[in-house]
Amino acid sequence: MTNVAIQSLLEQVAAGDTSPAQALDKLRDLPFEDLGFAKVDHHRSLRQGFPEVIYCAGKTPEQVGHIAQSMFDHGSTVLATRADEACFEAIRAVANEEPVYNRVARTVLVQRGELPATMGSIAVVSAGTSDQAVAEEAAETAAAFGNEVDRIYDVGVAGIHRLFARMEQIRKARVVIVVAGMEGALASVVGGLVNRPVIAVPTSVGYGASFGGLSALLTMLNSCASGVAVVNIDNGFGAGYLAGTMNRV
């Protein structure tokens, strides 16, 4: 439930169009609704400006569908991450409109209500094609916030001239997300070339000594470039969410 929805409900009570009892019934599930297997946080949009997001990994399709239904009943936007085909179909079955399913990002989105005002664009920059799934998760999450997203992919340091060819576009962004596996050097390079905040996302892409993304994570954490912050390995959602809050008016 959003600020706009609650204000509208209070205005209806003040005008006599809705009784206090009816309003109480609509507000009964705030701040959360207990589904037994999950407690859906309907208050999150009021606190943070964006509703709860469904993390599908570890949940059954039936559980994902019930959570989505609860959120739809309260007029919320539904964003689901790490969603397979079965989770997509479960959300699709309870939505009144066709969800947007990005199979690369493994995200499902049903947009409802007004989008927050933003101040500029967000650039999502990835090192290699193998990093694209994480980059797409970041891009889809940022777009769900209403941000204009520029995707700049396959510009890693092994062919750094590819990055330099896109620097004008990257510098126009208000926030830059850099996604890289292997040794994770791209975040430091970009961080040293822009005057915008850089959110670095290490990925688990790489051979054995990359230790499932730990090598890239440590490189990014030890970056000598100023203005680089780092999220968890493969956490495209976290980067997209943070970038969206930074770009909000």
pLDDT digits 0-9 by tens, 114-169: 777 788 999 999 999 999 999 999 999 999 988 999 999 999 999 999 999 999 99
- Residues 140 and 163 grouped into a single domain: yes
Evaluate the CA torsion angle 51, 56, 80, 169 in order and state its sign: positive
104 with 209, same domain: the answer is no
Tell me which of 23 and 155 has the higher pLDDT: 155
Q: What is the pLDDT of residues 106-127, one digit of tens each?
A: 999 998 877 777 889 999 999 9
Residue 86 shares a structural domain with residue 43: yes
Identify whether residues 36 and 90 lie together within a single domain: yes
127 domain-assigned: yes
Mean pLDDT across the stretch 181-204?
Answer: 96
224 and 146, same domain (yes or no) = yes
pLDDT of residue 116: 75
Instruction: Clarify whether residues 44 and 79 are in a common domain.
Output: yes
- SS3 sequence of 76-99: CCEEEECCCHHHHHHHHHHCCCCC
Q: Are residues 21 and 95 in the same domain?
A: yes
Per the listing, tokens 């340091």 go with 157
Task: Pick the last residue of a domain from 60, 89, 110.
Answer: 110
51 and 128 in a common domain? no
| Residues 29 and 132 placed together within one structural domain of the fold | no
Rounded CA separation 203/194 (Å): 22
pTM over 0.75: yes
Number of domains in the chain: 2
pLDDT tier for residue 215 given thresholds of 50, 70 and 90: very high
**Do 151 and 88 fall into the same domain?**
no
In a domain, 115, yes or no: no
Contact 230, 221 (CB under 8 A): yes
Of 84, 110, 136, which closes a domain? 110
pLDDT of amino acid 117:
76
Do 131 and 69 belong to one domain? no
- End of a domain among 73, 88, 110? 110
Examine the pLDDT at 5 and tell me if it is beyond 80: no
For the chain, the helix, strand and coil percentages under 3-state DSSP, each to the nearest 5: 45, 20, 40
Q: Please give the structure tokens belonging to residue 28.
A: 């009964």
Residues 93 and 145 in one domain: no
Domain-embedded: residue 126: yes
> Residue 210 belongs to a domain with what CATH number?
3.40.50.1970
The candidate with the shortest Cα–Cα distance to 157, out of 204, 212, 216, is: 216
| Closest to 87 in 3D by CA, of 71, 73, 107, 117 | 107
The whole domain housing 204 covers 121-246
pLDDT tens, position by position, 169-192: 999 999 999 999 999 999 999 999
Q: Copy the structure tokens of residue 154.
A: 């396959």
Per residue in 44-87, pLDDT (tens digit) is 777 777 888 999 999 999 999 999 999 888 888 899 999 999 99
